[in-house]
Structure 1
Amino acid sequence: MAASLGAHEAMELHEVLTDTIDGINQFQLYSPHVKDPQLRSILDNQIRFMTQDYNNMVQTINQRGKGESIPYRSVKNVSPSYGLQNPQPQAPNVSMNEMDDRDVSSGMLGCHKASALVKMIASLECADSHLRRMLQQGAVNCSEQAYEVWNYMNQKQYYQVPTMKDMTTQTMVNSFANMGQIS
């Protein structure tokens, strides 16, 4: 397949694969700093999945589309907590020895957000429909992994969801109408 790739496909796949390697390496760097067993489980599962996804992409590229993208399991029964409950001020750590579960989960979330963008942008440059679908599924997988980490952060109050007054929210939501209904 490598010989039949367009220039944009080859360049975007290079970016995606490099980004995936960087993500796996980044998560491995986080590993010694994790204290919470729940976060440990999320980190370990995501490293395994990211490694499997990377190997699948390489196989797909090298063997003319033989690999299949496997969807990441979605987080079920999530009840986000809304509102701010006395959020703690944030500042950079003075040394890496200060890294904690909040830092690790925040880094994981940022990695998945960036990787979702890289994969979706790459999918827009693919002429090969199989590669395009693989990259699109990869972006969705990153989104699901990000949501899993976000949910953990929300439960621990590391990532709180600010809200607005109901009147402000309703005004914003109700400021749109179906086409043809505006008089």
Structure 2
Amino acid sequence: MTSPQFNHGAHEVLDVHEVLSCSVGALNKYTMLRSKVQDPELLDILNRQYAFMVQEYNTTVDCFKSGKDPAFPTKSYMMKQDNEFIYGLEAKQPTKPIQTETEINDEIISGFMLGAHKSGAALKTYAALEATNPVVRRVLADSVPNCIEMAYEISIYQNKHRYYQVPQLSEADMQMMQQCYAPATQTIPQ
């Protein structure tokens, strides 16, 4: 019988290493960008997310090293704002890469934050699918919804400031797309 500490397959070890490296990178970005944030609302989101991400990182490290239940279990991230989106497009200047560090603004910072959560969700999902240690698999799987929630929080912030615009189909096209599918029957074919 393998001890819990070494109850990991090779894919799992490499994937969790990638997840933890991504987490460190995200936390480092948050730290580097904190002093450049102008909007108090974005700074509040950044600080709350950073604190949550540190705890989740420590939980993952704990169970990965021990193979056992972590001292602090995975929690659920709860955003503060509502989930109202502004639909439609407005004309704005085309986006292009910045030329100097002084051009870093809240739009760019929130974009980095969103990207970190998208990467984290994908890597954690992939790693959870390869995990052989049941505790590590559960911790990774439980943390994916947190990445989704934090990304959603940032996308709402970006949308409110028109950094992230959401085009919408006409009502007729939307209705047509919604009517393309019907419920499945419960009968199993013989």
TM-score (normalizing by structure 2): 0.88
Alignment check: 8 A CA contact 1:72 1:141 kept: yes
- 1:33 CA displacement: 1.7
Rate the CA distance shift 1:99–1:76 in 2: closer, same or farther, 3 A. Answer: closer
CA apart distance, 1:66: 2.5
Q: 1:138 aligns with which of 140, 143, 148?
A: 143
Amino acid of the structure 2 residue aligned with 1:86: A
| Paired position in structure 1 for 2:15 | 12
CA distances 1:96-153 after superposition (whole Å, capped 9, x unpaired): 1101000000111011011100000100001222211110111111111101111111
Q: Paired residue for 1:93?
A: 98
DSSP-derived class of the 1:33 partner: coil
Say which SS state the counterpart of residue 124 (structure 1) adopts: helix
> Matches of 1:87 and 1:114 in 2, distance apart?
27
Conserved 8 A contact 1:80-1:155: yes
Q: Is the 8 A contact 2:7 2:133 kept in 1?
A: no
1:173 corresponds to which of 171, 178, 181: 178
CA offsets per residue over residues 149-173 of structure 1, 9 Å max, x none? 1111111111111011111112222
1:150 aligns with 2:155: yes
Q: Which residue of 2 aligns with 1:39?
A: 42
Q: What residue is the counterpart of 2:66 in the other structure? A: 63
Q: Which shows bigger deviation, 63-72 or 154-163?
A: 63-72
Structure 1: give runs of 5+ residues left out of the alignment.
none
Q: Call closer, same or farther: CA 1:72–1:38 in 2, change over 3 Å.
A: same
- Output one character per residue of 1:18-77: Cα deviation in whole Å (capped at 9) or x when no partner: 111111111112112210000011111111111111111111122332211111114553
Provide the alpha-carbon RMSD of the alignment: 1.5
Cα separation, 2, equivalents of 1:75 and 1:128: 34
Q: Which residue of 1 aligns with 2:188?
A: none
- Decide whether aligned partners of structure 1 residues 29 and 153 sit closer, same or farther in structure 2, where only a CA change above 3 A counts: same
Which letter maps to 1:145?
M
For residue 109 of structure 2, the aligned residue among 104, 120, 124 is 104
User: What residue number does 2:25 align with?
Assistant: 22
Alpha-carbon spacing, 1:173–1:87, altered in 2? closer, same or farther (3 Å): farther
Stretches of structure 2 lacking an aligned partner (at least 5 in a row): 186-190
Three-state SS of the structure 1 residue aligned to 2:90 is coil
